[in-house]
Amino acid sequence: MAGSPNKEKARRAATHPERPGQNCRAEPGRFRPVVARNRCEGKHDCVDVCPYGVFEVRRMEDSEFAQLTAFEKFRSIVHGRKTSYAPKAEACQACGLCVVACPEKAIALVEFKAAAGSSA
Ligand code: SF4
């Protein structure tokens, strides 16, 4: 579920030396966070640091769970099958906080090139 940013976690992420250098000024929607389903353990750090409420943590969809390896399924079950989704990805401004805050290195920022007229 979404929540307010955790100031201490956000401060730590903001000074992380590997934070992507987009300077938090990308036009909203130009970049989107992509969560690697086989790495995310739903630990909530992305929710805690995102200034724009992009993420929520919830139960992994069955169709995605089915694509995991046996070991990844086991690990997911150990973590309650929780994983992070980005229902408000269009609000992302590519600040990079989630990328460096994620303890599983499960988040990447990807430039989103919508086709003209696409509503995706
Ligand atoms: S990069 Fe985007 S999704 Fe990640 S914390 Fe910054 S605004 Fe939120």
Domains of the chain, by residue range, sit at 7-111
H-helix segments, the chain:
7-14, 45-49, 62-65, 70-78, 97-101
| Cα of 70 from ligand 1 centre, angstroms | 30
Q: How far apart are CA 65 and CA 59, in angstroms?
A: 10
Which residues have any ligand 1 atom within 6 Å of their CB? 33, 49-50, 52, 54, 92-98, 109
pTM for the model: 0.85
CATH topology of domain 7-111: Alpha-Beta Plaits (3.30.70)
The predicted-structure confidence for 101-118, as pLDDT tens digits, reads as follows 999 999 999 998 754 443
The predicted-structure confidence for 33-57, as pLDDT tens digits, reads as follows 999 999 999 999 999 999 999 999 9
Q: Nearest to residue 64, comparing CAs of 92, 34, 37?
A: 37
